[in-house]
Amino acid sequence: MASRNVLRGLERGSDLNAAGEPAVTSPKDIVLNAWKTFSSRDADRIAALFTEDAEWIAPKDNATAIALDHTDHMVGARQIARFIAQEMHRMFSEVDIAFRGIHADGDVVIVEERMRATLPGGKPYENDYCFVFTVAGDRIREVREYMDTRKGWRMVFGEGA
């Protein structure tokens, strides 16, 4: 089944720059634009959101990393973009993201969300996440990802896992 991304809670005005893209002026705007761009699954556009040495740090040995035989600590814009655009969709289809809160303080933006998706074999997946983004200039330098790892493990590998 084709993957679809539904990003609820990101409705904003239509401020566009000269290129016809959303004008981003603050770390919060940069992160909101990133979430919209993630749903495009365009690795080049996604990579452009991050500094070349960006890091995405998820909980060690989380179910997604184990199931996909993937690192839980990605380094570099290209590796991060490839995961978002392609690799995560080997595990999650029909992705539905509902934002619960977006909080900014200086160059740090915290995003609280619930992700629902379909796992291989048709099983449902639902988990709450918290992402802490650090922005440097007009790009994302670091993402620290938090989730209910036990719940994720049970949904991916079953109750007895």
The residue segments making up the domain with residue 140 are 14-157
The per-residue pLDDT for range 126-139, each reduced to its tens digit, is: 999 999 999 999 99
* 3 state DSSP class of 118: strand
Give the CATH number, domain containing residue 143: 3.10.450.50
Evaluate whether 124 touches 136 at the Cβ level (below 8 Å).
Answer: no
Residue 132 has which token pair?
A: 């802490």
- The per-residue pLDDT for 17 is 58
- Residue 4 in any domain: the answer is no
Q: Are the C-beta atoms of 143 and 56 separated by less than 8 Å? A: yes
Decide if 59 is inside a domain: yes
What is the pLDDT at residue 2? 40
CA 160 to chain centre: 28
SS3 (DSSP) at 102: strand
User: Residue 1: inside a domain, yes or no?
Assistant: no
Q: How many domains does the chain have?
A: 1
